[in-house]
Structure 1
């Protein structure tokens, strides 16, 4: 549950970081739909997302009307954190619980969404650049 809380914090109230101009992956894909958590990329390491349950997977939902939700499956029940969003270029502007943050998109294709954030991923007191990878079925 702690990683989900950290991830929710990363997505919904992240410290935004600009994407470099040499990023080559596309960010012009369609963000609508359910995006399931797959892995994190931190300091050159790929860390599988391991908080899925047999009864369901955690996901982020983006709706056409600008609403969305971060959904955590916990004890086979859905813990839903609603938000609103807009997508402009390579950025998502997300508002949740009255807090608005800009979250850079590192990649967006028909099957992959990568969001780049900075936060203390490993609880060591130092911030790390974290790429959260989500997939759409």
Structure 2
């Protein structure tokens, strides 16, 4: 059996704000919400794949995490990439919800179209579609 990715994380500056953005704007659903000391083990998943890869909304309290998050943001590097059926349609949907984009839908390598937005929690997020 091949190895599978079951969990990945993204640093956030406020877990509650992140949960609200990732569920209400992006459409993910909360999977886990457990107390972990003063923080929470807080994950979201795609509603289309509730048993799939979980995204941990991880507090960026560690100074190294803060420096990393700030550094890749300032360099314009997305912290995560999510697949969508239609980048242009998702761009319009998210923009209508007030999401701030730093890159409009752009065709890059081959038939791939990407767009990049701010998640309000210190990250740039890329969405992408493979065009047929």
Q: TM-score, normalised to structure 1's length?
A: 0.29
Q: TM-score, normalised to structure 2's length?
A: 0.30
* Higher helix content, 1 or 2: 2
* Higher strand content, 1 or 2: 1
The one of the two structures with greater contact order (alpha-carbon pairs below 8 A, sep at least 6) is 1
Whichever of the two has the greater Rg, that structure is 2
